[in-house]
Amino acid sequence: PAWEKRVRSSARVRRASGKSVLVTGAAGFVGMHVAAALKRRGDGVLGLDNYNAYYDPDLKRARQALLDRAGVFIVEGDINDAALLRKLFDVVPISHVVHLAAQAGVRHALTDPGSYIHSNVAGLVAVLEAAKAADPQPAVVWASSSSVYGLNSKVPFSEADRTDRPASLYAATKKAGEEIAHVYNNIYGLSITGLRFFTVYGPWGRPDMAYFFFTRDILRGKPVSIFEGPDHATVARDFTYIDDIVRGCVAAVDHAGKSTGSGGKKHGQAPFRIYNLGNTSPVSVSDLVSILEQLLKVKAVKKFVKMPRNGDVQFTHANITLAEKELGYHPTTSLHSGLKKFVRWYLEYYSTSLSKQASEEDRSISS
Ligand code: NAD
């Protein structure tokens, strides 16, 4: 069937050293970039995404179109569909799963908690079950999050720090994911690597993230809310540029086959590893807005508001010593130069998609 043909050709490896990788969440922000990077270097890459409507489905479809041109096919389906996963693993031998499909964002959990359990807990179990049953068994690299550090007050965050005080349901499901992954490593010997991403930003980013909607609101002259902690304390994030994160993910894929380093405990033959992927230089939200004002050449209408108790934490800061040592991870992009690339993409993407929309409307009016 045509579907199987597309799956096979997408997963076909171009180089002898190449891997065949299933990227879940491939129509998502990080997934699109990781899938494209793996394909570029000669790996076979197959995507999976359910194109949920958490944010702009057109943006997900545009990412899909980009991957399609690069030769990556995204199968449309849910990670909880066990029969579909079994079929994918049957059709092509998958050496690695980069599992990025998840319900992201902390605030959405206030209104739709079930989606976090569905995708981040049940969905992770479904992916690990499929990996466990596959022959050969793939190594799994998956996205955890800096949010697992929760209300931890000690910065910078190191992998061994406490993670028992999540501030949001999102964080709780990511933390649960780490425990679940550990069980699959322990009992079934799956090779597992968890990556704790710190606030990833860049072109093709997520419209629900502050840097993205601040850009939109500044351009529209709408006020932007800058959160402050108690007594006007700074709220800051360790913003990490997408290309740096992608390099970290690719390095984690390459490292996954190797026997354990000090970053992991050894259970039988398979390693279990957790790494921080951050930028080690937190920037306040108010400085983020200043950089955007500079790049957009528009003054923001700023509103300083007390941070609501909605699941956000006040400060994040990664210690990346372990990822540096074991993955050769070295983030190189400053927030200013990364945002410059984001703003360039944003202006181009929205001017083209708006003019495309307008010309489609013109056509439908004239026909
Ligand atoms: P994203 O929302 O852009 O991408 C996730 C993709 O997964 C989406 O395209 C969505 O349609 C898909 N998806 C969700 N549930 C699914 C399901 N049940 N079945 C199939 N597909 C499903 O998010 P992102 O920013 O690219 O994040 C990727 C991963 O990194 C997520 O696991 C997220 O929790 C984690 N993470 C991201 C950040 C960040 O700052 N972007 C920070 C920490 C962790």
SS3 breakdown of the chain: % helix, strand, coil, rounded to 5? 45, 20, 35
Cα 120 to middle of ligand 1, angstroms: 9
Decide whether any atom of ligand 1 lies within 6 Å of the 318 Cβ: no
Question: Which stretches in the chain have pLDDT values below 50?
Answer: 260-267, 367
Decide whether any atom of ligand 1 lies within 6 Å of the 50 Cβ: yes
Query: Residue 365 has what pLDDT?
Result: 53
Query: Residue 264 has what pLDDT?
Result: 45
ipTM for the whole complex:
0.99
Decide whether any atom of ligand 1 lies within 6 Å of the 28 Cβ: yes
Q: Tokens standing for 36?
A: 């494209």
Beta bridge partners of 49: 76
Domains of the chain (ranges; CATH) run 2-197+241-278+317-331 (3.40.50.720)
Q: Whose CA is nearest to atom 44 of ligand 1?
A: 145
Please list the active-site residues: 170
Q: Whose CA is nearest to atom 29 of ligand 1?
A: 100
State pLDDT tens for residues 148-197: 999 987 899 999 999 999 999 999 999 999 999 999 999 999 999 999 99
Please state the atom number of ligand 1 nearest to the C-alpha of residue 174: 34
Decide whether any atom of ligand 1 lies within 6 Å of the 120 Cβ: no
Query: Residue 266 has what pLDDT?
Result: 45
Query: Residue 363 has what pLDDT?
Result: 60
DSSP codes of every residue in 355-367: HHHHHHHHHHHH-
Which of 49, 84, 238 to probe ligand 1 with, by most ligand atoms within 8 A of CB?
49
Decide whether any atom of ligand 1 lies within 6 Å of the 119 Cβ: yes
Q: Are 105 and 170 in contact (CB under 8 A)?
A: yes
Q: Whose CA is nearest to atom 33 of ligand 1?
A: 104
State pLDDT tens for residues 69-121: 999 999 999 999 999 999 999 999 999 999 999 999 999 999 999 999 999 99
